[in-house]
Structure 1
Amino acid sequence: MISEERRRAYLGAMQVDCWLPRGELPFAAPARAPWVAPEPDEPEPPPVAEVEARVARPAAAQVALRPRIALAAAGKTEEPARREESTAAPAPQKVPRFALQLLRAGACLLVVELPTGDAFQSRDPAYLLLKDLLRAARLPDKPQQVGDGEPIRWPLLNRGNLEQGSEAARDYVQGVIAAAREEADFACLWLIGSPALQFAAELAADAHNREVRVEPFGAALALPGLELLMEQPELKAELWRALRRSLSRWMTP
């Protein structure tokens, strides 16, 4: 057996830097720190119940997470919809279409719907019926035109960018009536036909045969349109009764 010093010399000559003996050498110097760490013992496999629990936990977490994801997705979907609804432009107003004629008969100012859209002619059936109404109300049966006699036609397409909706139409009609009142006052305002009721007095289209008060014009008599009276003659009976109830408004004592 050679000494430790000689053994190292042999190993150096063979260019061996390190070596591990197969067994403990007698009289050998204390071994240095091991060059190779011992392999760890293989861990024992976990019990089957623990493995099943580990597998079940992620699955349960995914099931619990699904409702949250669905709610979040619904919230993200509804939010843009609400934002789009709130920022949507308002629907454009429907433009009314009508023609009205302003006439004077005694102490009354008449706002009459024109069935054809054109000014009355002396032989028009609607104009002949109007004359009958005036005679029944003990008023002159030859009403006078107001201003230049031009009917109020709506929409005012020749007014450029002027608003053409219902509110603008009401303001315009009431403005024309106010101008006529400045020229000559009247005791009662006759509103004949649905457009006259709606845009001169803000009444319902079927508010017929009644006396109402219209600010700032005072007393007004709401009557059916001439065309409606010609189509449904049975409506004339109630109209005659409404005229008799209001006679004192324009009859001089």
Structure 2
Amino acid sequence: MQESIRLDYLAAIGVVGWVPRQPLPHAAFRIPPELPAVPAEAEPNTEVTAVPAAKPLGAPKAAAAVASARAKIVVRPAKPEPVPAPVIAQSVEPAARPVPLESFYLQLWMAGPCALLIETSEPGLESASPGLRLLKDILRAVRLPQTPHLYADFQWPLNRNPQFDRSASAASLALQAFMQARLESEPAVSIGCFGAYPRLLLGPELDGQNLPYGREEALEHLPPAWFAPDLDTLMNSSSSKAQLWQQLKRIMSRWQAAQ
């Protein structure tokens, strides 16, 4: 019988103090009670002698049991309450809002297997503009079709909503997506970029000290691109035109093999 059930039975029948005759299974250890000493009775007409008080019955066994029980009791120190860590107040600075990029306008022209991304002012290259005549001269020199056709245009920002992200990073992602979508079905083997803002195809950095002019760059998910100053700068700078010509002589084999 379980100890708890046994105690409930004894309490129900009114038994308050009790000692088992033999060890009970599952019962907690109980210290035997001390029995009162039995007084000695004096015999009549005899001398009364002092009788020492009798030792309690089973005193050695009880004492040994009490000592053994106390030896098994392990007093564990109370755990100290955790001290809360001091809260260090930190000043939360609002995130800096990205600097908006100024507006610009690009036109995508196709000249055979070469795509041309040209920075220009709105409405862009006109049929009789000096910039378009210079572009035709460049195409004739590198053996590309001299009558390129306007394929698409890109204007930044994409909308007039002031809540729209207008940073250089957003413009770079938008221009890359624009070029990937437009050239997905076109057999372009090279991209010619004229101006500063087409450099966004390489990333959001527009540092004027690190111009990619005079070299060809590999692009992700796009044909390789070569970079040159805008058409107005080329018209007014003979050194820029000479540098562009040296660059085009090295890479013109790309579209010549495709024709």
Q: TM-score range by the shorter chain?
A: 0.5 to 0.7
2-side partners of 1:182 and 1:145: how far apart? 16
In the TM superposition, what whole-angstrom CA distance separates every residue of 1:45-79 from its partner, at most 9, and x where no partner exists? xxxxxxxxxxxxxxxxxxxxxxxxxxxxxxxxxx9
2:100 paired with 1:99: no
Greater Cα shift, 226-235 or 199-208:
199-208
2:248 paired with 1:243: yes
2-side partners of 1:92 and 1:189: how far apart? 29
Aligned length: 167
Q: Give runs of aligned pairs for residues 1-253 of structure 1, distance below 5 A.
A: 83=91, 86-114=92-120, 116-146=121-151, 149=152, 151-158=153-160, 161-197=163-199, 199-202=200-203, 205=208, 206-252=211-257
| Aligned residue number for residue 75 of structure 1 | none
TM-score (norm 2): 0.59
1-side partners of 2:246 and 2:238: how far apart? 14
- Check conservation: 1:209, 1:238, Cα contact below 8 A: yes
In the TM superposition, what whole-angstrom CA distance separates every residue of 1:59-109 from its partner, at most 9, and x where no partner exists? xxxxxxxxxxxxxxxxxxxx99x72xx414414413232110001001011
Give the deviation of 1:208 after TM superposition: 0.4
- Check conservation: 2:194, 2:231, Cα contact below 8 A: yes
Give the letter aligned to residue 201 of structure 2: A
1-side partners of 2:100 and 2:220: how far apart? 25
1-side partners of 2:133 and 2:150: how far apart? 16
Q: Which consecutive residues of structure 2, in runs of 5 or more, have no partner in the other structure?
A: 1-87
2-side partners of 1:171 and 1:87: how far apart? 28
In the TM superposition, what whole-angstrom CA distance separates every residue of 1:126-158 from its partner, at most 9, and x where no partner exists? 111111111111101111121xx4x21112234
Alpha carbons of structure 1 residues 185 and 159: separation in structure 2 relative to 1, 3 Å: farther
CA RMSD of aligned residues (A): 2.2
TM-score (norm 1): 0.60
- Check conservation: 1:229, 1:236, Cα contact below 8 A: yes
Greater Cα shift, 243-252 or 116-125:
116-125
Q: Which consecutive residues of structure 1, in runs of 5 or more, have no partner in the other structure?
A: 1-78
Q: How many percent identity over aligned positions? A: 30
2-side partners of 1:188 and 1:215: how far apart? 13
2-side partners of 1:97 and 1:231: how far apart? 24
More helix per residue: 1 or 2?
A: 1
Give the letter aligned to residue 87 of structure 1: E
2-side partners of 1:137 and 1:195: how far apart? 24
2-side partners of 1:182 and 1:218: how far apart? 10
Give the deviation of 1:229 after TM superposition: 1.1
- Check conservation: 2:107, 2:117, Cα contact below 8 A: yes
Give the letter aligned to residue 105 of structure 1: A
2-side partners of 1:160 and 1:108: how far apart? 36
Alpha carbons of structure 1 residues 154 and 245: separation in structure 2 relative to 1, 3 Å: same
In the TM superposition, what whole-angstrom CA distance separates every residue of 1:186-242 from its partner, at most 9, and x where no partner exists? 111111111011x22227552102111111213211111112112322211111110
Secondary structure, in 3 states, of the residue corresponding to 1:213? Answer: strand
